[in-house]
């Protein structure tokens, strides 16, 4: 991927409206022009081994599109207006940009070596992406498509969380058993905190006080107090009939009211439902093998779980806390996002 040279600054104000016009035009004339770019409700599943994003219509639970991407698509995030979907593709060192209305790859951003997960700061037009092979966090200028900064991290950085005000970025190092706190303004690691073995992903409580991080191999979720940047507690899991060593938590979500958390338990083939206030596990929901990625609908009534070793996605009705159906997708599904 060639890096596009920065645009001349005097051209940039002219180009923005042009680009916007182009998008609107594409939207009006595109093949999906009947559908709205927003709130389609479509489910997007990235598949590591088949290099595609499978798109499912939640009303029929049918696959409506098999979208080729660059190789090894993993983490996905929508732009704030949901017109674009960004997909980190680990084997091509790019983030693909998907036009949500057209369901086509319309561009690419260059990253470091083997991008895995990322966070977007829309205000500063920046993407922070962890480079699994490069042991670094790349800071990408989304408009210029250039890496403006490369921050060294511990080996195998994974989870990325950008603070609400954009001033701090939290990154896990899977090998270092660390969470780095990075000052987004200076690009320096300002502090590290030691957590459990092989830390993977983050979820923040809506009150901004706690950051939860999954520790895959020690089978725990650590709770970091964001003000003190210190471990404040941890949650352990043990679904019925499982052994502690089967429990390998990866993805997690916290509901908007800050009351409930959902945690995938990997090889233990369950999703844990946690009461956030008491930090107690309320129930376990049976899903597929090596459950990793989670997608939660906006109404928080449905949970989608990517089963890495089942090549399918399990749909959970959160009212009954039961799996309703599993839909085959690509090989090694990694993550789920929902356009709603």
Partner 1 sequence: MTSGDFGMAHVGWVKAHFAPCARFPCHVGTALRAFAHPTRRGWKNAAALLLALAFADIPATVVAQPAPSSPPPATAAPARQRVVIGYVDIEGDPRYEPVRAYERLVLKTRDHPFPGAQVGIDEAQALVRVLNTEFALERITVKAPDQVAGAVTRAMMERGIKFFLIDAPAEAFKPLAAAVKGREVLLFNVSAPDDSLRREVCAREMVHTMPSLAMSMDALMQYLVSRKWRDMLVFEGPLPADAQRTDAFVRSAQKFGARIVARQKFKPGTDPRDREQNNPALLSAVRGDYDVVFVADDAFDFVRTVPYHTVRPRPVVGSIDLEPVAWHWTWEHNGAPQVNSRFDKKSGGRRMEGADWAAWIAVKMIVQSALRTRSADFAKQRDFILGDAGFDGNKGLPVGVRPWDHQLRQAVLLAAPYMVVESAPVEGFLHRINNLDTLGDDEPETPCHLNK
The binding site for partner 1 (CB under 8 A) comprises 132-133, 135, 152-156, 173-178, 192, 194, 197-198, 217-218, 243, 245
The nearer residue to partner 1, 7 or 175, going by C-beta atoms, is: 175
Q: How far is the CB of 219 from partner 1 (least distance, A)?
A: 9
As given in the structure block, the two tokens for residue 58 are 């939640």
- Alpha-carbon distance of 206 to 203, in angstroms, equals 9
Q: Which is nearer to partner 1, 92 or 156 (CB)?
A: 156
Q: Shortest distance, CB of residue 24 to partner 1, whole angstroms?
A: 42
User: Which tokens belong to 335?
Assistant: 């993550």
Main-chain phi, psi angles of 26, to 5 degrees: -60, -40
CA distance 268 to 220: 13
308: helix, coil or strand? coil
The label of the residue with tokens 């060593």 reads: 245
Q: Report, in Å, the least distance between residue 218 CB and partner 1.
A: 7
Q: What is the dihedral of CA 15, 19, 25, 26, to 10 degrees?
A: 150
- Is the CB of 197 or the CB of 324 nearer to partner 1? 197
* Distance in angstroms (rounded) separating the CA atoms of residues 108 and 68: 13
For partner 1, the closer of residues 119 and 219 by Cβ is: 219
Report in angstroms how near the CB of residue 154 gets to partner 1 at its nearest.
3
Beta carbons of 78 and 84 less than 8 angstroms apart: yes
Residue 338: CB atoms within 10 A of its CB come to: 19
Which helix (H) or strand (E) element contains residue 14? helix 12-29
**Residue 42 Cβ vs partner 1, minimum distance, rounded to whole Å:** 30
Print burial letters for 215-247: b (CB count within 10 Å at least 16), e (below 16).
bbbbbbbbbbebeebebeebbebbbeebeeebb
C-beta closer to partner 1: residue 243 or 259: 243
In whole angstroms, the minimum distance from the beta carbon of 234 to partner 1 comes to: 14
- If the CB atoms of residues 192 and 317 are measured against partner 1, the closer one turns out to be 192
CB atoms within 10 A of CB 26: 15
Nearer to partner 1, 26 or 175 (CB): 175
Shorter beta-carbon distance to partner 1: residue 152 or 328: 152
Q: How far is the CB of 193 from partner 1 (least distance, A)?
A: 8
Question: What's the min distance (Å) between Cβ of 187 and partner 1?
Answer: 13
Nearest by Cα to 138 from 167, 159, 111, 114: 111
- List the one residue out of 222, 313, 312, 238 whose CA is nearest residue 270: 238
Residue 86 CB neighbour total at 10 angstroms: 21
Closest separation in Å from C-beta 134 to partner 1: 10
Q: Which is nearer to partner 1, 178 or 287 (CB)?
A: 178
């Amino acid at each position: 991927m060639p890096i596009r040279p920065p645009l001349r600054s005097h051209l940039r104000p002219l180009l923005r409206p042009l680009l916007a016009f182009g998008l609107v035009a594409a939207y009006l004339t595109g093949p999906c022009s009947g559908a709205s770019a927003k709130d389609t409700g479509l489910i997007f599943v990235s598949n590591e081994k088949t290099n595609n994003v499978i798109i499912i219509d939640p009303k029929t639970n049918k696959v409506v599109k098999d979208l080729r991407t660059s190789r090894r698509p993993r983490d996905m995030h929508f732009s704030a207006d949901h017109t674009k979907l960004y997909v980190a593709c680990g084997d091509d060192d790019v983030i693909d940009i998907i036009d949500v209305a057209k369901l086509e790859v319309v561009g690419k951003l260059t990253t470091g070596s083997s991008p895995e997960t990322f966070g977007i700061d829309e205000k500063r037009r920046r993407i922070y992406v962890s480079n699994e092979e490069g042991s670094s966090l790349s800071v990408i200028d989304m408009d210029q498509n250039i890496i403006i900064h490369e921050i060294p991290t511990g080996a195998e950085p994974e989870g990325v969380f950008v603070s609400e005000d954009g001033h701090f970025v939290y990154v896990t190092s899977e090998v270092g058993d660390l969470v780095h706190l990075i000052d987004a303004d200076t690009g320096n690691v300002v502090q590290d905190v030691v957590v459990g073995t092989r830390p993977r992903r983050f979820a923040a409580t809506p009150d901004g006080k706690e950051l939860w991080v999954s520790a895959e191999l020690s089978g725990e979720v650590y709770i970091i107090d964001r003000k003190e940047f210190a471990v404040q507690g941890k949650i352990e899991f043990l679904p019925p009939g499982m052994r502690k060593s089967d429990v390998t938590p990866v993805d997690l979500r916290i509901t908007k009211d800050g009351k409930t958390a959902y945690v995938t338990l990997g090889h233990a083939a369950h999703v844990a439902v946690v009461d956030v206030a008491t930090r107690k596990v309320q129930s376990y929901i049976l899903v597929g093998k090596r459950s990793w990625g989670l997608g939660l609908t906006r109404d928080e009534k449905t949970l989608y779980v990517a089963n890495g070793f089942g090549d399918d996605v399990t749909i959970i009705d959160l009212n009954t806390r039961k799996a309703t159906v599993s839909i085959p997708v690509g090989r090694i599904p990694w993550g789920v996002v929902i356009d709603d």
